[in-house]
Structure 1
Amino acid sequence: MSLLAHLAYKPRELQFGTSGRRGEVVHLTQLEIYINVLAELRYLQALPRGLGGIAPGEEVYYAHDLRPSSTAYVPEQQGRGELAQAAAAAIADAGMLPVHLGAIPTPALAHFGLTRNRASLMITGSHIPFDRNGYKANTSIGELLKEHEEPVGRMVAQVRDEIYRQPFAESAFDAWGLFKSGHRELPAPCQAAAESYLQRYREFFAGLSLHGKRLLVYQHSAVGRDLLAELLQGFGAEVVPAGRSAEFVPIDTENIDAAQIGAVQELVDEATRERGPIFAVVSTDGDSDRPLILGLDAPSGKVQFFGGDLVGMVVAEYLQADAVVVPISSNDAIDRGKLARVLEPKTRIGSPYVIAGMQSARERGRHAVCGWEANGGFLTGTEINLNGRCLSALPTRDAFLPILGVLFAAESRGLPVTGLFRELPQRFSRAALIRQFPRATALRILANFTPKTGGGEELEAIRAALRAFFPADSGFSEIAGIDYTDGVRISFRNDEVAHLRPSGNADEFRIYATADSQARADAIAEAAVEEPDGILRRMERAAASRE
């Protein structure tokens, strides 16, 4: 009998998302990881080298974050896990040479692969909750993009059928989708990738100093926590490590709530009492491809969080970019500031779309191209030349570059971090979300506010329907326009914005709010996600009543 006939569970197939493939750990079997990785590698083997192709026998680098399920079986999650081991097996069975790079940031892995023209795989759930995980694949020249999704999907279906048809006695997997051989030790990691990543920034920022700056590095369970501290110390900063956690802590840099800000404030207060005033707080998400940056107000010492879209503006100005690409969800301060003249058309949300926008700018002759997302992940689409130094392109989300960019920009201007951000056009944003909100439900909600024909009467009916959820007595003005680039982005006549969109790889419904004050942006976001009667929940009930 076949492997499929012996499976004691109903497989949950991983879907291709804007940041790889992710799922709940209880459904994320080693078999499922193996099938998808094997298929993606076979797809890359069929590509020409110039399009990201790889050849049998070459190295494929793999690394992982600090989630328990990335490298170990987790009893609390039905014994699932050891996902890195499953990826390594698929690499070997694809006729490639698996090279373990250990627990390092996603951009460190990508950088190492790209500089050697090799494919790479990162086992990570990034910022999503502890009970989820997944992986992200890179070709030999960059990320898998949306154009790859359909052909990769066909290859996955082909490989799935092949593996499922194997006689159970010959299969490496048991009835629960785990290796029959049980636990597999990972080989000792190669340290070269981490060192290469640090050296990238040591060389580009050579001659600059953070001497005299006391920085609190909020470590939690970020995979790059020690590398970040080492890098900052190398530039002369006094580093205060804080908040290190042995348990995985999901940090979503796009959804920092009051409780998380409060926890950071406590760490800052303690460090200030013991060491003296803190210049800034820096951190990353779980796989260290998105930065978390907080300044401190003087003299109160109160921490102030800066969203990734604003961080990107500061860094792009500092790097003297001549073309910048951002998604439609970004703070519209960029339309009013110095970067407006080099702003490319705004894209859909997700690094593949930003990368495509950067490619377009490069093809039109731009020489210093970068992009970023509202989560702060910063991408470079060309070489960046500054102060006689050259930084090679790294077209994937990176956290260390924006952290260094903000700190060196503040140092060069003689400003505190808060002062640096005050020089940007004063537009304020806030992102918030409801977790465990079925993606299918969110899509149905948005479909109710999306035109089918584009006729005037239909559009006016949509505006009227939306006004019921964004009424004048809640401070909303008339609707000025609706953008459907990615989700439903509502612009009001008083320049406020409410952008609704489901997450691309998790059951989450998000709002991105923008206003002329932080308090108002916060209020819009909180009104949307309030339980049980916030805007999104009322939209959910209205959609259900129409079925």
Structure 2
Amino acid sequence: MPPKFGTSGLRGLVTELTPELIASYVRAFVAACPQGEAVHVGWDLRPSSPAIAEMVLQTICECGLTAVRCGHVPTPALALGAMNAGCGAVMITGSHIPADRNGLKFYLPVGEISKEDETQILALLDHLPDLPERKGDEKVNLTCANDYIARYTDAFGSHALSGLRIGVYQHSSVAREIMVAVVQGCGGTPVPLAWSDTFIPVDTEAVAPETRSQLATWCTVNALDALISTDGDADRPMLIDANGAIIAGDVLGPITARALGADILCTPVSSNSMINQMDCFTTNRRTRIGSPYVIAAMEDILDADIEAKVVGYEANGGFLLGFKAAGPNGSLAPLMTRDGLLPLLTPLAAARAAGVTIAEIAAALPPCFTAADRLQGVDQNRSELFLKQMKQDAGYRAAFFASMPPEVAVDNKDGLRVTFRGGDVIHLRPSGNAPEFRCYTEANTHQAAVTLLETHLSALRDRLT
């Protein structure tokens, strides 16, 4: 499958991300979108990223703009630095997908590109304007990571995590040193674990059983109060309680929103519906899956009320802050791009301030539980045909869900989301830019959600692989 835009930017096999293709997309981005005075460039730790970054930097200069080399930095750190400078940005990352794939994420001076921006970029690919005669310069930004650290140490203060032993599963996350610095700067005791010199594709929505077991072992052996990590580019968090249980991203989202004083939530249809039972939020708006859709919903709300205390989050845990929020020690400026650090720090600081564990905070939420995983190596044409038949043929759908009670609602907003009598939910969705097919489930107990997931992943495997 050739590289294409999905919910998280341009993605594709490294072998297909040729210099010509990369240059074309960067030139189209520069021509289609405002950039300010420069374009900032950062990249993750996968092996192919530095070489792709050089192609991007060179192309920006050839377009007559200043290219700002930011190095290995988290996606939200690059976005923060570029937006503060009033500039565009390009992040080279494949996020959580395997190292044989990579991609580009594009940012305007005001934040992530929209779906409309994507359309304009694609329209220009075959009609690129001539390059200017004068090349731009290249500069280096050495403060991007430190500014990102300071955002959180300043807002949370030096005592927010005091007394807590926090494990940091470092693997190949581009934020592996940043997480250690922030925990230490907020008064906690960081325990670095499992630094990797090879890239490990950590998907916070689909953590392998052997990884879950290892995380639980680390918590016990190191007497941890919690363990934190992120995916490869640090825009998705992973938080593990002292018992070794992963707290899902769509649980971290409401906890973080509540602690920050948000009134309005924007989140995809795949997120936990517990928020319908939480009376601390005035509104929750459901979107299609992907940060561009969440951002669009947040922007609609802010257009109507610039003072709205609106946030967004996804089932993977990435959190978007749409208003100036108060931290324990200072303010947090809005950052309307998916961030993996804020939904780690906020729940931990809130738990410590309340004198409880993070597990106790999660347990006090309405009893609604989700589980998610994906099949890899799925032919996309086959998965699209399967999903089309599931949507259009009620009999075919009933046969696939033969073990379930009768369906009471069907939502085709993004994939196929079916609610069954009794309240259980199964949501099926193919990836937009990788050969994967995802399954999300929801039930009134954790084990029931896991059982639903295992049963229907097995059925999907029989149909699609």
Query: TM > 0.5 between the two?
Result: yes
Deviation at 1:388, TM superposition (A): 7.5
The 1-side partners of 2:292 and 2:26 are apart by: 19
Deviation at 1:69, TM superposition (A): 0.5
Unaligned runs of 5+ in 1: 1-11, 45-52, 72-81, 164-186, 298-302, 452-461, 542-547
Unaligned runs of 5+ in 2: 132-137
Deviation at 1:162, TM superposition (A): 7.5
What is the match of residue 79 of structure 1?
A: none
**218 and 387 in structure 1: CA distance in 2 versus 1, 3 angstrom threshold:** closer
Is 1:228–2:179 an aligned residue pair?
yes
In the alignment, which of 28, 35, 38 is matched to residue 54 of structure 1? 35
Deviation at 1:509, TM superposition (A): 0.4
Indicate conservation of the 8 Å contact 1:367/1:383, yes or no: no
Give the match's secondary structure for 2:437.
strand
Indicate conservation of the 8 Å contact 1:362/1:382, yes or no: no
In the alignment, which of 377, 382, 389 is matched to residue 448 of structure 1? 389
Query: What letter corresponds to residue 359 of structure 1 in structure 2?
Result: E
Deviation at 1:269, TM superposition (A): 3.7
Query: What letter corresponds to residue 363 of structure 1 in structure 2?
Result: D
Is 1:527–2:447 an aligned residue pair?
no
The 1-side partners of 2:130 and 2:48 are apart by: 26
The 1-side partners of 2:436 and 2:229 are apart by: 23
What does residue range 76-475 of structure 1 map to in structure 2 within 5 Å?
82-159=51-128, 190-206=141-157, 208-270=159-221, 272=222, 277-297=223-243, 303-339=244-280, 341-365=281-305, 366-386=307-327, 389-451=330-392, 462-472=393-403
Query: What letter corresponds to residue 184 of structure 2 in structure 1?
Result: Q
The 1-side partners of 2:154 and 2:194 are apart by: 29
The 2-side partners of 1:14 and 1:95 are apart by: 26
Instruction: Choose 1 or 2 for highest CA Rg.
Output: 1
The 2-side partners of 1:285 and 1:67 are apart by: 12
Deviation at 1:342, TM superposition (A): 2.4
Count of aligned residue pairs for this structure pair: 458
What is the match of residue 9 of structure 2?
A: 20
The 2-side partners of 1:311 and 1:386 are apart by: 16
Deviation at 1:386, TM superposition (A): 4.8
What is the match of residue 537 of structure 1?
A: 461
**385 and 238 in structure 1: CA distance in 2 versus 1, 3 angstrom threshold:** closer
Q: Deviations over 1:10-69 (max 9, x none)?
A: xx753122211011112221221111111111112xxxxxxxx235xx221101000011
Indicate conservation of the 8 Å contact 1:441/1:540, yes or no: yes
The 2-side partners of 1:327 and 1:314 are apart by: 16
Q: Percent identity?
A: 35
**218 and 207 in structure 1: CA distance in 2 versus 1, 3 angstrom threshold:** closer
Task: Say which is worse superposed, 13-22 or 105-114, in terms of deviation.
Answer: 13-22
Query: What letter corresponds to residue 284 of structure 1 in structure 2?
Result: T
The 2-side partners of 1:537 and 1:221 are apart by: 29
Indicate conservation of the 8 Å contact 1:463/1:479, yes or no: no
Indicate conservation of the 8 Å contact 2:219/2:225, yes or no: no
**224 and 386 in structure 1: CA distance in 2 versus 1, 3 angstrom threshold:** closer
The 2-side partners of 1:157 and 1:208 are apart by: 55
The 1-side partners of 2:158 and 2:378 are apart by: 49
The 1-side partners of 2:89 and 2:257 are apart by: 27
The 1-side partners of 2:360 and 2:173 are apart by: 27
Task: Say which is worse superposed, 27-36 or 129-138, in terms of deviation.
Answer: 27-36
Give the match's secondary structure for 1:157.
coil
The 1-side partners of 2:26 and 2:282 are apart by: 38
Deviation at 1:540, TM superposition (A): 3.9
Aligned-pair Cα RMSD in Å: 1.8
The 2-side partners of 1:418 and 1:132 are apart by: 35
The 2-side partners of 1:96 and 1:13 are apart by: 28
Task: Say which is worse superposed, 404-413 or 12-21, in terms of deviation.
Answer: 12-21
Deviation at 1:344, TM superposition (A): 2.8
Deviation at 1:207, TM superposition (A): 6.0
The 2-side partners of 1:372 and 1:470 are apart by: 29
Deviation at 1:291, TM superposition (A): 0.4
Indicate conservation of the 8 Å contact 1:344/1:361, yes or no: no
Query: What letter corresponds to residue 21 of structure 2 in structure 1?
Result: E
Deviation at 1:203, TM superposition (A): 2.1
**380 and 222 in structure 1: CA distance in 2 versus 1, 3 angstrom threshold:** same
Query: What letter corresponds to residue 199 of structure 2 in structure 1?
Result: F
The 2-side partners of 1:442 and 1:343 are apart by: 34
Query: What letter corresponds to residue 42 of structure 2 in structure 1?
Result: A
The 1-side partners of 2:27 and 2:425 are apart by: 43
Indicate conservation of the 8 Å contact 1:13/1:32, yes or no: no
Task: Say which is worse superposed, 149-158 or 244-253, in terms of deviation.
Answer: 149-158
The 2-side partners of 1:390 and 1:210 are apart by: 17
**537 and 207 in structure 1: CA distance in 2 versus 1, 3 angstrom threshold:** closer
The 1-side partners of 2:464 and 2:164 are apart by: 48
Indicate conservation of the 8 Å contact 2:92/2:104, yes or no: yes
Give the match's secondary structure for 1:412.
helix
Indicate conservation of the 8 Å contact 1:31/1:86, yes or no: no
Q: Deviations over 1:399-454 (max 9, x none)?
A: 11111111111111111111110011111111111101122222211111224xxx
The 1-side partners of 2:97 and 2:78 are apart by: 20
Give the match's secondary structure for 1:495.
coil
Give the match's secondary structure for 1:102.
strand
Is 1:504–2:432 an aligned residue pair?
yes
